[in-house]
A and B are shown apart, each in its own frame.
Chain A
Amino acid sequence: MSVKLILRDKEYEVKSGMTLLDSLKKINIVPESVISTREGEMILDDEILKDGDVVKLIAVISGGSDESRKL
């Protein structure tokens, strides 16, 4: 059994028993760049992920390429 993390159309699997923070680091996702939800509720970095958990990662970054000049 494992934990599934989903970001957009990508799925990752990690071992259960790790914290969310360690899981994100394991799959090379910068924790600051996502909000993590489980069953629709936001969860935090210290959450221990259990067997069968499905964590949906919501990307928070948006922007365009003209931004260095925007006022």
Chain B
Amino acid sequence: MKCKKCGAKASVNMRQHKLALCKEHYLEWIPEQTERFIKKYEMFTHHDKILVAVSGGKDSLGLWDILVRLGYQADGLYLGLGIDEGINYSHESQRLAEKFANNHNLKLHVVDIEQEYGQPIPVLADKSLRGYGKPCAVCGLAKRHEMNRIARDLGYDVLATGHNLDDEAAVLFGNTLSWASDFLLRQGPVLPAADGLARKVKPLCRFYEREMTAYCLARGIEYIYEECPFAEGSQSIYYKELLNKLETDRPGAKLTFYLRFLEARKSGELFIENNVEQAHLHPCSTCGQPTSAPDMCSFCRMIEKVNAVTES
């Protein structure tokens, strides 16, 4: 297979685009496309201060690399989750995030959940009895809460995450299976800023997970390859595997699934009401971030519960 641009041997083939590229042209194509998505969805400009949520994985490090290559003002945020499970998972992912920042002379904020809240994620999950024996629900909750808090506290204009199209398609698939209309209404490349909520964007939302892996390999970005030890058997991975089987037989199926959803949502074909997500939000009585819960937000209730268990 040959590169469509120069005729050299291709390294990456994107069947959904009918496009094969050599390594050099692929490394040009990815930032070009990212810039196109940033503009198309009006995510941010070169005047904005961007905080990139960095996990040490391929997507977030790839995103940070691309934004810096495009000349954006992008700092990183690493959240120390305290996940070890015998493979030093958090320690290793932090090391790789710091290594990338040091190698590129970039600013990385490091916030440790245990230092902030007294317990690492697995213990918070255990003590709060959330997540049916797995810490992933608590991890997601804590990450969303802390990313929002830190982006606002440090005065960033926008929080960028490395969600790729497979992430988005898996979420969409899960929420469609259960017709979770409130979540479907909120899914998209941009979540606008609101009272207490930082603006959130997903510049990689139209790249397949495979393409981000290829980008990191081609760029020589060292990322944590090991999966989070708690992710094994997770629902999202199961959905991704199903969607990849579909994609193998029908190239472009994942992209079409996501893009048609965005079009339908935008045009109002799917839902009568828009913006219902903001209708019932009010400030949490403890941290002040918006919540739909009657008093404290889910995160603060979890912390309160953990503290009560710890003290007793």
Among residues of A, the one whose C-beta sits closest to the C-beta of B140 is: A66
Collect the chain B residues with CB atoms within 8 Å of residue A65's CB: 131, 134, 136-137, 230-231, 233-236
Collect the chain A residues with CB atoms within 8 Å of residue B240's CB: 61, 63
B144 within 8 A of A: yes
B209 within 8 A of A: yes
Please count how many residues in chain A sit with their CB below 8 Å of the partner chain's CB atoms: 26
Q: Are A62 and B231 in contact (CB under 8 A)?
A: yes
Bound-state CA distance A11–B214 (Å) is 22
Bound-state CA distance A61–B59 (Å) is 11
Q: Are A32 and B140 in contact (CB under 8 A)?
A: no
- Which residues B113-144 have CB closer than 8 A to chain A? 131, 134, 136-137, 139-141, 144
A69 within 8 A of B: yes
Among residues of A, the one whose C-beta sits closest to the C-beta of B143 is: A70
Q: Known interface pairs A44-B13, A45-B13. Does A67 touch B209 (Cβ–Cβ under 8 Å)?
A: no
Bound-state CA distance A33–B230 (Å) is 20
Measured CB to CB, the closest approach of chain A to B78, in angstroms, equals 16
Bound-state CA distance A43–B48 (Å) is 39
Q: Known interface pairs A65-B136, A68-B236. Does A42 touch B231 (Cβ–Cβ under 8 Å)?
A: no
A1 within 8 A of B: no
Among residues of B, the one whose C-beta sits closest to the C-beta of A37 is: B217
Which of B11, B144, B233, B247 contacts A70 (CB under 8 A)?
Answer: B144
Q: Are A68 and B210 in contact (CB under 8 A)?
A: no
In terms of DSSP, what is the predominant structure of the interface of chain B? helix
Q: Are B236 and A67 in contact (CB under 8 A)?
A: yes
Q: Known interface pairs A41-B11, A42-B214, A44-B20. Does A64 touch B170 (Cβ–Cβ under 8 Å)?
A: no
Q: Are B217 and A61 in contact (CB under 8 A)?
A: no
Q: Are B1 and A58 in contact (CB under 8 A)?
A: no
Binary per-residue interface labels of chain A (47-71) against chain B in the complex, 1 for a CB within 8 Å, 0 otherwise: 0000000000011111111111111
Q: Are A46 and B1 in contact (CB under 8 A)?
A: yes
Bound-state CA distance A65–B57 (Å) is 17
Which of A30, A32, A58, A63 contacts B167 (CB under 8 A)?
Answer: A63
Bound-state CA distance A61–B180 (Å) is 24
Collect the chain A residues with CB atoms within 8 Å of residue B187's CB: 71
Binary per-residue interface labels of chain A (5-40) against chain B in the complex, 1 for a CB within 8 Å, 0 otherwise: 000000000000000000000000011110101000
B12 within 8 A of A: yes
B241 within 8 A of A: yes
B307 within 8 A of A: no
Closest 9 CB pairs of A and B: A68-B174, A67-B236, A66-B140, A65-B234, A65-B136, A63-B236, A32-B244, A64-B136, A60-B213
A interface residues (Cβ-Cβ under 8 A, vs B): 30-33, 35, 37, 41-46, 58-71
16 residue pairs of the A-B complex, CB under 8 angstroms, read A32-B245, A42-B23, A42-B218, A45-B13, A46-B1, A61-B209, A61-B240, A62-B57, A62-B237, A65-B234, A66-B139, A68-B178, A70-B167, A71-B183, A71-B191, A71-B200
